[in-house]
Amino acid sequence: MSAPQSIRSASLRGALALVATGVLAVAATLTAAGPAHAADSLGSAAAQQGRYFGAAVAANHLGETPYAATLDAEFTSVTPENEMKWDAVEPSRNTFAFGSADRIVNHARDRGTEVRGHTLVWHQQLPGWVGQLAAADLRTAMNHHITQVMTHYQGKIRSWDVVNEAFQDGSGGARRSSPFQDKLGNGYIEEAFRTARSADPDAELCYNDYNTDGANAKSDAVYAMVKDFTSRGVPIDCVGFQSHFNSASPVPADYRANLQRFADLGVDVQITELDVEGSGPAQATSYANVVKACLAVTRCTGITVWGITDMYSWRAAGTPLLFDDAYAKKPAYAAVLDALGGTSTEPGTPTPTPGTGSCTAVYSTSQAWNGGYNGQVTISAGNAPVSGWSVTLTLPEPQRATSLWNAVASWNGAGSVATVRNASYNGTLAAGASTTFGFTVTTHGNPAPPAVADCTAA
């Protein structure tokens, strides 16, 4: 089931063909790296699988401490819920308002978190002036809107939902009536993607829709369009599957096979708006099945849940998310983390005694591919406990980090040097204990390893 029209709808380009899995020790001190540590957050666990794990975010909740803390601790990608839709960023023609969207983007970039742009062309949440335009003027306005928005965020947003929900339900895969379809015809989707590629050649361009999670008339129509686009060189890089589920619309038995058939066309696939109404084991099993399906498809590059806490979900009465109203982790959270291969810290786990002491930092490359890598830093306390830690991370130019997990980073203006500090949950270490943080880097042609130095204990 898809989200209501008022708030419905939300990738990391597929660099997942690993060409090396090396361990390259670059120690901040002459300390041998310890054994690998199991990931203890959604984002870190997904990263160890070569995926991102994201959440839809509302700018007006970022000032709430538990909301922001949960976002920063658990997720490695964010999607603005409504702040990038047409009525929000261009309410009147040629007048752009990016304030709320900028707040989300800046929050994410300050923490090394990936951003998905959502959405450029959609039949809903359009300001009234758009629908009043004649065909030629509408084409000009659509292309101008795409260009202006993508240019504003060029280099800051890795992937965009270029066109959203262009196909109708229950009509044999027909195109949905909209100002764009009715006045510009079927070609408007291709034109939108070509304009988007020109506006930001480095961004990943996605088509996004709902009720396409299994093979049906609607998903068949989307499949035919994507197949046509890839055969003719139309610039499409990924397909998003919203994946809104409940007892009446469960995870389809052919969910994984459907993802795979799209991936076989040479595009990435992402789960873009996942939520599952329900509770307890049934909800947990559905979430785990979605994660397992994504992990089974090499080109499934990430998962985004449509919100953080049940309290703010568009389906709040159905309690569809991984955190309850009090931000407590639900059984579904544990099921997702387990499916990703991570480990959860359960309530009642003893907390190391806070203290002050020394620490060491050891870097290793956990995964590498053509154009990027995942790095991991192991922080170890010395002979005394510590209650916080920080290190300096320096990326060789022109490398840039696209995500960071299990830590908080403050980057310099160029984005190449960061002071990385512990997250709220992994700063306190007993004597001799260790924790890790990780990050994903785009190399831009320079595969040299980063430098990690100056481990400082609080």
Catalytic positions are: 165, 273
- Give me 12's structure tokens: 């990391």
Query: Pick from 224, 226, 220, 174: which is nearest to 205 by CA?
Result: 226
Burial (CB count within 10 angstroms: exposed 0-12, middle 13-18, buried 19+), residue 61: middle
d(CA 230, CA 224): 10
The crossing angle, in degrees rounded to 10, of helices 255-263 and 217-232 is 20
> How many CB atoms sit inside 10 A of residue 21's CB?
12
What sign does the CA torsion over 199, 446, 115, 260 have? positive
d(CA 359, CA 294): 37
Burial (CB count within 10 angstroms: exposed 0-12, middle 13-18, buried 19+), residue 132: exposed
433, 357 in Cβ contact below 8 A? no
d(CA 236, CA 13): 11
> How many CB atoms sit inside 10 A of residue 269's CB?
27
Rounded to 5 degrees, φ, ψ at 350 are -60, 140
- Give me 265's structure tokens: 């066309």
